[in-house]
Amino acid sequence: MANIIDGRALANKLQVKLAQKTAQLKAEKGLTPGIVVIIVGDNPASQVYVRNKERAAIAAGFKSEIVRLPLSTSQDDLIFLITKYNLDANWHGILVQLPLPDHIDPEAVLLAIDPEKDVDGFHPINMGRLWSGHPVMIPSTPAGIMEMFHEYGVELEGKRAVVIGRSNIVGKPMAQLLLNKNATVTLTHSRTHHLARIASQADILVVAIGRGHFVTKDFVKEGAVVIDVGMNRNQEGKFIGDVKFDEVAEKASLITPVPGGVGPMTITMLMEQTYEAAVRSLKN
């Protein structure tokens, strides 16, 4: 039976350290990291995510601002607001909560954010830095997974890693982060032929395909490390992962649960990157 990777415990541990680092930064440099989250409309799930981000920022000792805009906000007005925060040195992280209303182009909004304040790590400049092997801002879910590997002593160099899912948010940056640590990486997706056979050769398996209980024991090599990024609801409304936990845990050496695995790390890494952006601002 696999050992469980406790994302909540690790996130709490990192948050305590972050609050200490923030207090030291304030005391020594007189600088308080600042993060602003902009949300357009009243999507209930987005409202929950935004509240969680605000809570994490306050716990870290950051200056935090939530800007709630009506659904009718135009793209030009949103970009004008982003530009204002780009130019304000008091803010080191800018987040625009997705999804956006249909009349706003998310790509245009993403391009409007200063790459130095793009704590989501989605700006093409930050993606390019990651793919060139010189990351600055990294998408927070893959960054959190890398912290898990470090905390649990998972050796990556020379290992065979398979990532299932090719999104810009998780799959692609995850593959590159593993490659940067000298793993041999195969990036797969829903249309990959013989997917179970390929996955079953992996020492490290990261699943982010967005299909509940998609990965069964047939996908998993004995002793593999399995990271489940999925967050789906089953017919009873219960949260489940992309991995069929009970049967896969019988074969894996380490596995993340859902919930309580990768999820808690995501917001923690957003805050870590805001802190790092604040530190870098001192050098500019």
Q: Is the pLDDT of residue 283 over 90?
A: no
Binding site for NADP(+): residue ranges?
165-167
List the domain range (segments joined by +) for residue 99.
Answer: 30-114
* pLDDT tens-digit series, residues 120-172: 999 999 999 999 999 999 999 999 999 999 999 999 999 999 999 999 999 99
Catalytic-labelled residue, pool 15, 97, 176, 273: 97
Selected catalytic residue, list 6, 117, 118, 120: 120
Alpha carbon distance 234, 214 (integer Å): 12
246 is catalytic: no
273 is catalytic: no
CATH number at residue 145: 3.40.50.720
Does the active-site annotation cover 53?
yes
Indicate the SS3 state at residue 101.
Answer: coil
Q: Are 206 and 251 contained in the same domain?
A: yes
Annotate 46-115 with DSSP letters as a single string. HHHHHHHHHHHHHHHT-EEEEEEE-TT--HHHHHHHHHHHHH-TT--EEEEPSPPPTTS-HHHHHHHS-G
Q: What is the mean pLDDT of residues 226-231?
A: 96
Residue 274 confidence (pLDDT): 98
- Average pLDDT on 40-44 reads 92
Residue 161 and residue 78 share a domain: no
pLDDT tens readout for residues 162-192: 999 999 999 999 999 999 999 999 999 999 9
* Confidence class for position 229, pLDDT limits 50, 70, 90: very high
* Helix-helix angle 44-60:263-281, to 10 degrees: 50
Residue 107 lies in a domain: yes
Query: Rounded to two decimals, what is the model's pTM?
Result: 0.95
Would residue 106 count as lying in a domain? yes
How many other CB atoms sit within 10 Å of the CB of residue 70?
Answer: 9
What mean pLDDT is predicted for residues 241-245?
Answer: 97
**Which CATH number do you get for residue 83?**
3.40.50.10860
State mean pLDDT over 262-282.
Answer: 96
In the predicted model, what is the mean pLDDT of residues 50-71? 96
Same domain, 85 and 156: no
Same domain, 95 and 148: no
What average pLDDT does the structure give for the chain? 96
In a domain, 119, yes or no: no
Does 222 reside within a domain? yes
